[in-house]
Structure 1
Amino acid sequence: MPESTQPESTPKSFVPAAAGVFLLAVCLRPAITSVGPVLERIGLEENLGEGAQGVLGAIPLLAFAAISPFVHRLAGRTGMERTVVLSLVVLGLGTLVRSWSGPGQMTLWLGTAVVGAAIAVGNVLGPALVKRDYAGRVSGAMGVYTAFITGAAATASLVAVPLANVSNWRTALAVWAVPSFLAAVLWLPRARAAARPVPVSPGSAETATNVWKWPTAWLVTAYMGLQSTTFYITITWLPSIETEHGVSPEVAGVHLFIASAAGIIGGLLVPFLMRGRSQVLAAVAAAVPVIIWSFGVLFAPSLFLLWAVCSGIGTGAALVVALALISLRGRSQHETTRLSGMAQSLGYLLATAGPIAAGFLTEHTGNWDAAVIMVAGIATVQILVALKAGQPPKASLTKPAVVPG
């Protein structure tokens, strides 16, 4: 299937072209994971209850759901490289706006929405870039890609409380504008050297692809949504769950860092379970540690560090599986971008309910037990979906529907 862009020329840059996707990965989570450790401080200063804090944590996911289906159009018009640069600049600006003490709470909510929209673009383009730049090594490259994502996420969660102690929570969030602007500068030579997109005719095979009528796409989307839900519940509320049991905010932040670091290990190891055409084993195995975390928190809370490691391994591995499924099921860069947009739009829309539901459950029950049980239930459903989503699709499932011209 012909691609909608011409082969790009080799840009003169300090960053090798194929490594650019990993530079993008570094910027896709710190603006989100830095919030959890200081969320209670934000709530106290801005008079936000647990429910409102859950909504604040869910806004980036709502932005992912709203923006993701349209990313392929933007990339098709301006080119993937230029779209990446634009998203990084907007991400940096949104991060600064969110941290600015503006009138009322407007800048907090508006900046959070802008951050989510910018990250959505990078989320969608990441799997397509991996498929294009690392064809034939998708699973391994996706493991490294997510290692950069989780590594940056872990660093952001680790330093959030110390930075807030030295200054305030606004500074702890604002510092993550710097990597975004720096990454945009380093991407510029590649964007300037990339060929302009070649317009595609309305009746071409590329415009005929309709992943929304593709059964395999719905399975991939379900897996993406379920693993995202467990990840964002734990990344948002893990510090609060631990502090309820007497853990200090500083130690809870360290545990969140360790969980994210464990996610790197899980993400790098799970590709070894994805060898061959089937990804069932990897998809199932990634959900099990999250269930272990849930039961551990409920019945042995004194071992929080161990359960944090389990949570990190599971969520890190599941992210690799979900993104690898997107790249492996898409037959071309164009198709992968569309599948990525669908999976991340509906997947994150499903995940949006997670932090909100956990916050409201806690607000109405008085403790975090119900929210932890909910995570175990979601991970169990994830295993059931994995049994189908990880299977190599039959020919009838991989052939996308054709929209009449």
Structure 2
Amino acid sequence: MSTAAEPATTLRTDVPPAPAARAPKALGALLVVAVVAAALNLRPVVTSLGPVLDSVRTDLGMSAAVAGLLTAVPALCFAVFGIAAPALARRIGPIAVVAAGMGAIALGVLARSFTGSTAVFLLLTAVALAGVAVANVLLPVVIKRYFPQRVGPMIGLYSMALSVGTSAAAAATVPLTGALGGNWRLGLGAWGLLAAAAAVLWLVTLFLRRERSSATAAARAAARLPILRSRTAWALALFFGLQSTSAYAAMGWLPKIYQDAGVSAGASGVLLAEVMAVSVPASFVLPNLAARRGDQRIFVVVLGLCGIAGFTGLLFAAGTAPWLWAGLVGLSMCAFPLALTMLGLRARTPGGVTQLSAFAQSLGYLISVPGPIVIGGLYQSTGGWTVPLAFLALLLVPQILVGLRAGLARHIEDEAVR
């Protein structure tokens, strides 16, 4: 409670969203559709490339080293460009920045598909990933600002759409390329049209809402928050980074793990698809359940134990019950929508969520960059999967520990001003 004895610099961050943020139902419905459209475009930039990478390398004369670099670039771009999102949001508003992000994705994906230069291909991929980075940070902010009473359901819808976009791009790019005459440029570039449609939706939303570029008092206050003092912010950043490390390592190496255990190449691909498919309904249900509780620690523990069980099963019996281990690993990867939900709940205002989201996601993605590389190095140096899988299982222990801190019902504003 605020008292007269409080210092003059104490910031009131428990103010409700401004009246301007409460939109008519029609505009609210439009924004729901826009959020789903944006989420669908946050991963095809990456997952559409893998299935046609051999064709891309051949046509562009791309070396194996550069192709390997493409696997580390996304997380690095998410970390670097995500840092700029709060400043851009304060200057022109989060909806305008997300609209620009969708435009950057469309431009980058379409243009890179028709270049003959490896350097230009990498540059345009970075442009698209910059758009993904700012949208990554600001979509939870948009949800907090315009759906303050429905954070859980909206994060669930956003997470489910993101999972659908991730798996659809991975599964459909090769058939789409075949349907377009076998030209990888058309198959890859088609995903830019999806991003262009999302950009149009966000531009219409921006026009109808006439969002002011000037920052609200709450956003300006959040900009001055010394977030580095918040233990909850640090815990969320570490939780985000550790779950991203496990997820990227699993997505990158799971087929190889199964194949080395005697599972056919086709079946290993289906098992990877199962991992992604499990997360689609779970990504919708979990945020709803988590948002109903002030404390999310039980979910942190359950998902962490699923991951430990999954990686341990792969370690000792990958070929015995492959569907079970894939399902458990898929459930453990639902730590991502849980992390997004906690980002929306650990700050009182949209401005606070902006700063927390940028800090936690940027630092988290930076932490995750070495993960798949380390796993590959351990596999190469030991000649098997025992050490890499044991490492992944053990990595879930600190994830649970920092998640227990991040899951406490606290707000960064209270910690940052102490």
Shorter-chain TM-score bucket reads 0.7 to 0.9
Question: 1:353 Cα deviation (Å)?
Answer: 1.2
Kindly provide the amino acid, as one letter, of the partner of residue 110 in structure 2.
Answer: L
1:304-363, CA deviations, whole angstroms, 9 ceiling, x for partnerless residues? 333222222221x21121011110011101110110000000000001111222233334
Question: 1:199 Cα deviation (Å)?
Answer: 4.5
Give secondary structure in 1 for the equivalent of 2:369.
helix
Indicate which of 293, 297, 300 corresponds to 2:310: 293
Query: Is 1:334 matched with 2:351?
Result: yes
Kindly provide the amino acid, as one letter, of the partner of residue 314 in structure 1.
Answer: S
Indicate which of 159, 163, 179 corresponds to 2:194: 179
1:132 aligned residue: 145
Indicate which of 205, 230, 237 corresponds to 1:190: 205
**Counterparts in 2 of 1:243 and 1:94: CA distance versus 1, 3 Å:** farther
2:406 aligned residue: 389
Question: 1:254 Cα deviation (Å)?
Answer: 3.0
1:112 aligned residue: 125
**Counterparts in 2 of 1:314 and 1:138: CA distance versus 1, 3 Å:** same
Q: Distance in 1 between matches of 2:215 and 2:49?
A: 41
Query: Is 1:264 matched with 2:280?
Result: yes
Kindly provide the amino acid, as one letter, of the partner of residue 375 in structure 2.
Answer: A
Kindly indicate whether the alpha-carbon contact (under 8 Å) linking 1:143 and 1:320 is maintained by their aligned counterparts in 2: yes
2:5 aligned residue: none
Question: 1:154 Cα deviation (Å)?
Answer: 1.6
What is the number of equivalent residue pairs in this alignment? 398
Q: Distance in 1 between matches of 2:398 and 2:34?
A: 35
Kindly provide the amino acid, as one letter, of the partner of residue 254 in structure 2.
Answer: L
TM-score (norm 1): 0.86
Unaligned runs of 5+ in 1: none
Give secondary structure in 2 for the equivalent of 1:198.
coil
Kindly indicate whether the alpha-carbon contact (under 8 Å) linking 2:140 and 2:357 is maintained by their aligned counterparts in 1: yes
1:70 aligned residue: 84
Query: Is 1:152 matched with 2:165?
Result: yes
Unaligned runs of 5+ in 2: 1-12
Indicate which of 39, 48, 57 corresponds to 1:34: 48
Q: Which moved more, 1:234-243 or 1:255-264?
A: 234-243
Kindly indicate whether the alpha-carbon contact (under 8 Å) linking 2:221 and 2:351 is maintained by their aligned counterparts in 1: no
Kindly indicate whether the alpha-carbon contact (under 8 Å) linking 1:36 and 1:237 is maintained by their aligned counterparts in 2: no
Any residues of structure 2 matched to 1:3-402 within 5 Å, and which?
A: 6-7=20-21, 16-38=30-52, 48-49=63-64, 53-103=67-117, 105-163=118-176, 167=182, 170-193=185-208, 194-199=210-215, 205-245=221-261, 247-271=263-287, 272=289, 275-302=292-319, 303-315=321-333, 317-393=334-410, 398-401=413-416
Give secondary structure in 2 for the equivalent of 1:399.
helix
**Counterparts in 2 of 1:376 and 1:38: CA distance versus 1, 3 Å:** farther
Kindly indicate whether the alpha-carbon contact (under 8 Å) linking 1:206 and 1:335 is maintained by their aligned counterparts in 2: yes
Q: Distance in 2 between matches of 1:8 and 1:312?
A: 36
**Counterparts in 2 of 1:158 and 1:385: CA distance versus 1, 3 Å:** same
Question: 1:87 Cα deviation (Å)?
Answer: 0.6
Give secondary structure in 2 for the equivalent of 1:115.
helix
**Counterparts in 2 of 1:243 and 1:98: CA distance versus 1, 3 Å:** farther
Q: Which moved more, 1:243-252 or 1:189-198?
A: 243-252
1:52-105, CA deviations, whole angstroms, 9 ceiling, x for partnerless residues? 6553212110011111121011112122222111111111222234444522x3
**Counterparts in 2 of 1:354 and 1:172: CA distance versus 1, 3 Å:** farther
Question: Rg bigger for which structure?
Answer: 2
2:10 aligned residue: none
Kindly indicate whether the alpha-carbon contact (under 8 Å) linking 1:124 and 1:337 is maintained by their aligned counterparts in 2: yes
Kindly provide the amino acid, as one letter, of the partner of residue 134 in structure 1.
Answer: F
Give secondary structure in 2 for the equivalent of 1:175.
helix
Give RMSD over aligned pairs: 3.1
Kindly provide the amino acid, as one letter, of the partner of residue 351 in structure 2.
Answer: H
Question: 1:47 Cα deviation (Å)?
Answer: 6.2
Question: 1:260 Cα deviation (Å)?
Answer: 1.1
Give secondary structure in 1 for the equivalent of 2:42.
coil
Give secondary structure in 1 for the equivalent of 2:214.
coil
TM-score (norm 2): 0.84
Kindly indicate whether the alpha-carbon contact (under 8 Å) linking 1:287 and 1:383 is maintained by their aligned counterparts in 2: yes
Kindly provide the amino acid, as one letter, of the partner of residue 257 in structure 1.
Answer: A
Q: Distance in 1 between matches of 2:183 and 2:416?
A: 52
